[in-house]
Structure 1
């Protein structure tokens, strides 16, 4: 009897031990399975999160093959033009007759038409929904309802390349925006800018186009207007927007460079135009007009201008004919 109970208890113990072992094994398998599932999930998530590669949009100059033209300075700009303002001597020329989008360099003509209109610079203009960019959908710190004087709008358009300011200037012209654009094209024609055409006052449209030779003519005229010289070379300005003082800065870093003596300048950029800049500057004992269009790279237009400055300093009386007549 005693033996029977002993055997029974031993059997129960063995069964309990076996059950515990099986439970432990099941738990271990469950954990391993969960861990394995999590690892698989992690891999899948990483694959899904990978961003697709985006192709860069080519500029008009790249499509036309203008960057294939060699020049002695290996410039990143497909168009470059340097003119002695006093003698009209061309010191450097690369694709000078190529007609390309000019982006915000458009605002030089916008400013010239505004100044020559004789409209009061103290008149207050208000930004409306009409001034919102529906071309490139760019943002602006000038919210709808912002009211500034015409002079302040002119300052922001030239110094900080403010698109809503430039558009508001055109919209408040007698006869409205269409009359203003007509005045821009009429002024270009009067200056002999045969390769130039404007469709709006900001430069956001790629249909605003010109050539380096035409832009040199525009710089020549605008640089003789003291107000435009002062506003375009201003480094920064604080403007009251409602209850806030907002600081705007120039888009041209060369204004802070002591090696440069710039009398007038304007930068520009849209994808179709690349990086652009035009300037009037004194260097190598000369008053020069410089045009760089369709530059590839974030800081390449500034680098091209620096390369040109050094080249002119080393060869003040030398000119080159690296031009492509298209």
Structure 2
């Protein structure tokens, strides 16, 4: 009786298992079909959706990218100067006045250092330091307190906008006095094409020319502190109870083929990718300016093209000059 009972019980179990397996197969097939339909729908939506193109840079609007040069640079403005002899080795649209993005922070740093303000004084990030121009974020939360020296480091190395703004806000007389000092210092350097409205570079109204920026790089590269901070590759900063790693925005600092004494990168949509440097090369100290470069890594690629081109030139190479 026990054996018969077991035999009769096993039969429906096997049938149920077969039915369950069939249901699973059907369910899987249904899921695949749903995924296929969704995939087709997404592809169709992607094709139908309008392509939203980024607004053109000021340089593109001005037609500066139409100017050809021997290196086929992606930057619409390029300028290379021998720092000692002041000989211009390469020049492409050097007088074009364009937004300079975070290259602005070099002047911010220069004004702070030349004011002789204590680098150990603690500054606190407030709501006033939030970006209301581009609504970008920051790793420096409201309430973060760092020394002026640390703020200066982050502004130059990692292009921290709140750090740069806090530096300007804590200047004697406040932000208005600081911007006035920035413009006064530019005038004293003969930077006649340059104008600043704030200390971060987020505003497209911060504008300059390559020839003017070469003057700024020349001066800032002679300040040991600014050389050290701008070429620092990384730093760990205490933000509250956490140690946070910050890194440089310039990948060339890790390249052994480069001997960079000072650098600053910049980017906003209106300015494109920007880069200025002071570097030693083939026994010469050079100042390089690249503005309004198109493409994610194009400013670095342009710098590499320039380095290789300069290495091939004899000591009395003729100046290359192109402009619109």
Shorter chain as denominator, the TM-score bin is 0.7 to 0.9
Distance 1:98 1:139 in 2: 30
Match of 1:77 in 2: 75
Q: Evaluate the alpha carbon distance shift between residue 253 and residue 42 of structure 1 in structure 2; reply closer, same or farther with a 3 A threshold.
A: closer
Match of 1:168 in 2: 166
Mapped contact 1:70–1:322 kept (Cα < 8 A): no
Match of 1:320 in 2: 319
Q: Evaluate the alpha carbon distance shift between residue 42 and residue 70 of structure 1 in structure 2; reply closer, same or farther with a 3 A threshold.
A: closer
How does 1:251-262 map onto structure 2 within 5 Å?
Answer: 251-262=249-260
Structure 1: 4+ residue segments shifted above 2 A? 41-52, 319-323
Match of 1:151 in 2: 149
Match of 1:97 in 2: 95
Mapped contact 1:266–1:278 kept (Cα < 8 A): yes
Please give the TM-score of this superposition, normalised by the length of structure 1. 0.85
Consecutive unaligned residues in structure 1, runs of 5 or more: 1-33
Say yes or no: does 1:219 pair with 2:217. yes
How does 1:265-276 map onto structure 2 within 5 Å?
Answer: 265-276=263-274
* Deviation (angstroms), 1:78: 0.3
Q: What secondary structure sits across from 1:266 in the alignment? A: strand
Distance 1:54 1:221 in 2: 41
Q: What secondary structure sits across from 1:218 in the alignment? A: helix
RMSD: 2.0
Q: Evaluate the alpha carbon distance shift between residue 72 and residue 173 of structure 1 in structure 2; reply closer, same or farther with a 3 A threshold.
A: same
Match of 1:56 in 2: 54
Say yes or no: does 1:192 pair with 2:190. yes
* Deviation (angstroms), 1:322: 2.8
Distance 1:315 1:279 in 2: 20
* Deviation (angstroms), 1:148: 0.1
Superposed CA deviations along residues 11-49 of structure 1, whole A, max 9, x for unmatched, are xxxxxxxxxxxxxxxxxxxxxxx9xxx89x859964885
Distance 1:237 1:316 in 2: 39
Please give the TM-score of this superposition, normalised by the length of structure 2. 0.86
Match of 1:310 among 308, 311, 317: 308
Distance 1:188 1:242 in 2: 37
Distance 2:123 2:140 in 1: 12
Match of 2:21 in 1: none
How does 1:198-213 map onto structure 2 within 5 Å?
Answer: 198-213=196-211
